[in-house]
Amino acid sequence: MMIQVGALCIRTCTVTKQEVLCQIVSLYDKRDIDYDCPESVAIIPFVKAVWLSGDNQGQEFRSARRNFYRAWEVISDS
């Protein structure tokens, strides 16, 4: 499953049981460097999205893609 920039996603908040929407703003890879061993570098895929509903409406958030896939469902690929 591949998400695209502009996709609309939905999830149900585990605390309030309210459905919230977000839109993907960008997809990028972040380097994770182990400072004890500089030769060890991991590339972590990230999602940057903006809340479209709920208490955080209009604010951006970032999430590792593996966590995003677990919590969110794509409802429209734009």
DSSP state of 45: E
DSSP state of 3: -
Instruction: Enter the pTM of the model.
Output: 0.83
Note the pLDDT tens digit of each residue in 32-60: 888 888 788 889 999 999 999 988 999 99
pLDDT confidence bin for 76, thresholds 50/70/90: confident
Which tokens hold the place of 4?
């695209």
Can you tell me the distance from the alpha carbon of 4 to that of 7, in angstroms, rounded to the nearest whole number?
6
Can you tell me the distance from the alpha carbon of 19 to that of 11, in angstroms, rounded to the nearest whole number?
6
Q: How would you write 59-72 as a 3-class SS string?
A: CEEEEEHHHHHHHC
